[in-house]
Structure 1
Amino acid sequence: MDAIIEKANNLGELSRFLSETNSQKTSHVGYCGEKEEEIYQTLKEDFISDEGDIKFLIARNRTGEILAAIGFDIEETVVEVWGPFNKTSSIELQSQLWKQLVNENPLIQEFHFFINNENIQQQVFMNDIKAKKTGEHSILEIKEQNFDKVTEMRSESFKHSDSQAFEMLHNAMFQNTYYNGKTIIERLNDRNMLKVLKNISNELQGYAYFEVDTEMGEASLEYICISKNAQSQGLGTMLLKEVLTEMFLFPQIDEIKLTVDKANSQANRVYMKVGFEPKDILISYRLKL
């Protein structure tokens, strides 16, 4: 296909393209949102290099319309890949974008992808580049109007003295995940919050980490966990209800999303029980060079 490949240089134009493309399940990628304003803000915060370049490549046709795009959210030598996004049926076009962006970032050793199960074109591309499928994940959503808030809380805010126990539990229960325990602690602020659950002996039984974006009116429950020796006691459901209650205390939040392993039927039942409904199924892939 006759197309011009170049670095993206207009955040507004790129945000509109990604929003339009990602609103369709057949071209949807999990790391990227669907709202243009949200995408713009994330691009501004995470995709601008020290030199001021946007870490995205795009392909245009001769009239200037964006046909395809791919971007790297880089954390040292690991990347979350936004894309490929492609409005055409040409795998060759996005392959050119992929190869060029990889060549421009020679220090990257590991790439992570999150593809909607209805996005067949990118699943074919994952096979072409020999990316390994690592799991299937359900995206669930709950609306405030469908949730009954609780009035009493057993969980408490994370303290520095909880660091060692939390990191050990999180890293054991969520291996090869996008945030390790140390990263979560470093991210904590008045909008990224970690709640912990302890027994009467002050031993950590579980935790939940969530992020709230009041400007965009969005919130996501990133992790929730009950230690193995504290399971089957109803603590997971209790902690989930407490954390959702806390999240809905933000007046800007009227819906919450989370990602859960599709094969984790027990967790899915708990989420459905408190009012979550399925929205998407995403497939995770990893490629190591």
Structure 2
Amino acid sequence: MTGTIGISQDFKELAHFLAELNNQKAFHIGYCGLLADEIYETLEEDFVGDDGKIAFLVARNSYGEIEAAIGVDIDEETAEVWGPFNINATLTVQNQLWEQLMQEYPTLRNFSFFLNKENIKQQDFMNMIQATKTGEHLILGLEKRNFVRVKDIKSTDFIQNDFQAFEALHSAAFPNTYYRAQTIVSRLNEEHILKILKSEAGEMLGYAYYEVDLDRNEADLHYFAIAPTAQNRGYGTLLLKEVVTEIFNFREINEMKLCVEAKNDKANHVYIKAGFVERDLLYSYKFNRSNGMK
């Protein structure tokens, strides 16, 4: 009896398989979480299309057990790839899994991968399909129990009078980013927070925008920037510690993680000074259907 490849029909089974592998650096995929319950929620929310189509394929061995899997979180013609996850499948089976995924989504042009540096098997696969390595990224972590909170907060919540200076700094610091200044402001609420650091004269020194998800006990620092004229004067560490203090004031949040460019030593120095420690190094890849394997 031979194995089979098909669409995942059991997200709970799949979530446990992904969690088991993703907690091992040799199989780790950066887009996927570590806890089965959280992975299950994301599968339910992001991997079922409006038409009900499930965007995850699995390969099973002759005993019916999952031995490889791959899925895509789709945004129009672009997809973040969860995988390939492969514990025992042969390279031939993994290639068949990838080829079937391509057939299932013929209009997808661009695929993004995020692999742990110790995931050698999938780095070799990236070379085989002629994907392009686009960057190296550090995953930094900080636990609440290891952080000394700031008592005197100098940053303030955003007000409309801050917009012009905020927009100028945000546009300069992140010229091609996914959230423009107006988008950030439109999202603000009790869990989407924009902090502004100003001098006594009212000059914009820096800002930080973060979001908390209390249902998942998570916090994401999306943007953090210090004005060029205010850099190397301790304002970055000050603002970052204040933001982390406010995030840890949510009793549901016990840990923070950040993904930063590995080669951005200047910014990373600020994170390390604030107490963050390196957890993983991940490599990002891009695959374009028109350039690589069909």
TM-score where L is the length of structure 2? 0.87
TM-score where L is the length of structure 1? 0.89
Instruction: Flag the structure with larger Rg.
Output: 2
Paired with 2:163 and 2:18, the residues of 1 have a C-alpha distance of 38
Partner of 1:80: 80
Task: Give yes or no for contact 1:135–1:261 (8 Å, CA) kept in 2.
Answer: yes
Which amino acid is 2:280 matched to?
Answer: D
What stretches of structure 2 of length at least 5 have no aligned partner? 290-294
- Worse-superposed segment, 56-65 or 188-197: 188-197
Indicate yes or no: 2:286 matched with 1:282: no
The alpha-carbon deviation at position 267 of structure 1 amounts to: 2.4
Which amino acid is 1:134 matched to?
Answer: T
Paired with 2:188 and 2:71, the residues of 1 have a C-alpha distance of 26
The alpha-carbon deviation at position 191 of structure 1 amounts to: 2.7
Partner of 1:257: 257
Task: Give yes or no for contact 1:80–1:111 (8 Å, CA) kept in 2.
Answer: yes
Which amino acid is 2:99 matched to?
Answer: K
Partner of 1:180: 179
Per-residue CA distance 1:24-65 (angstroms, 9 max, x = gap):
100000010000111111111111111223211111112211
Q: Which runs of structure 2 are paired with 1:186-205 in the superposition (5 Å)?
A: 188-199=188-199, 204-205=204-205
Paired with 1:89 and 1:65, the residues of 2 have a C-alpha distance of 11
Partner of 2:209: 209
Which amino acid is 1:239 matched to?
Answer: L
The alpha-carbon deviation at position 166 of structure 1 amounts to: 4.7
SS in 2 for 1:287: strand
Per-residue CA distance 1:205-249 (angstroms, 9 max, x = gap):
432232323233233333322233332221111110011001101
Per-residue CA distance 1:253-275 (angstroms, 9 max, x = gap):
11111112112222222222222
Paired with 2:81 and 2:160, the residues of 1 have a C-alpha distance of 33
Q: Cα–Cα, structure 1 residues 263 and 7, in superposed 2: closer, same or farther, change >3 Å?
A: same
Which amino acid is 1:248 matched to?
Answer: F
SS in 2 for 1:21: helix
Count of residues paired in the alignment = 288
Task: Give yes or no for contact 2:192–2:210 (8 Å, CA) kept in 1.
Answer: yes
Which amino acid is 2:102 matched to?
Answer: V
Partner of 2:55: 55
Indicate yes or no: 2:238 matched with 1:238: yes
The percent identity for this pair of structures is 51
What stretches of structure 1 of length at least 5 have no aligned partner? none
